[in-house]
Amino acid sequence: MKYKCKALLANETGWITEADIIIGFESLSQSEQTHRKNRKVYIDPALNTLRLANLRYGISYIVSLEGHKYRFYHLDDIWQFKPIQTAATCDHLYFVGTIVSGLVWESDDVKVWMTTNKKEV
């Protein structure tokens, strides 16, 4: 699988687009691709080293939302993802604990789970 560098490494501002993290971007309609390119997502530049380590060990996190899936390489990036902030009814510790224990975290129509070795858990 080809990984986009921007989805792994944040620039100095930390802003990327949904197009960088959405799974199956190429199969979206042209208007949907344009829409995803215009929606900004923050990933913390301080976590770049940890993102690369997770990639090396085959660890990523999937967010399922509104019929789309997004791939992240650090849970704190997901916690900052606006749909998660809106849907979360728990604290950060519970959120992280649920996912790293191998469970699916759910709130409303949002689901988050961990993948390992390129296979979904």
pLDDT at position 88: 93
CB of 118 closer than 8 Å to CB of 62: no
Q: What is the pLDDT of residue 108?
A: 87
Separation of alpha carbons 67 and 87, rounded Å: 16
Q: What is the mean pLDDT of each run of 10 residues along the chain (121 residues)?
A: 52 85 93 94 91 91 94 94 93 96 94 81 47
> What pLDDT does residue 3 have?
43
DSSP 115: E
Task: Write the single-letter amino acid at 47.
Answer: L
* pTM across the whole model: 0.86
